Amino acid sequence: MTPSNGPLGGSRRPARDRRGRGVRGPLAWPAVPAMTSRRQRFDDLVLDSAARLESTLGNRLDQVEFAVEDVPPADPAPWESGGVPLGRAFPAHGRTPARVVVYRRPVESRAESQRELSLIVQDIVVEQVAGLLGMSPEDLDPRYEE
């Protein structure tokens, strides 16, 4: 007697691919750093820098959005002369909140290590937020440009 594969009984074979190896799983689990992309790690650096400033400034950063873009737009602002901008601050306008944008690719090209990258990102975020608030970066963050 052979087992029935019908809906009323019998045993069912486990689902396998056509070569009989079974379903393949992910190469690394979500908790493993290999699963985070460079883009995600860079986003986390910007958010960490913003959180560090938020602990200092409190609710003054509630209306500021932080964003990451790969590259700056091709048309520079009139006040930007020479070089590629690493970040920009856009003041609030009407219902649009103030925004700080950090450009990932130019920043990554200037860093030689992960530590240097985090320091550059921190300096850029401090500079842009200081510009929005009308403060000097040194007053905003005592570790600016150490």
48-89 residue pLDDT tens: 999 999 888 888 888 899 999 999 887 766 666 667 889 999
Tell me the two tokens of residue 1: 């007697």
- Which pLDDT score, from 0 to 100, does residue 81 have? 67
Mean per-residue pLDDT of the chain:
82
Contact 111, 103 (CB under 8 A): no
Would you kindly state where each structural domain of the chain is located, as residue ranges? 36-72+85-140
Residue 109: pLDDT over 90: yes
Please state which of the four CATH numbers 3.30.365.10, 3.40.190.10, 1.20.1440.130, 3.30.2010.20 is assigned to the domain occupying 36-72+85-140.
3.30.2010.20
Beta strands, E only, the chain = 64-69, 87-90, 98-103
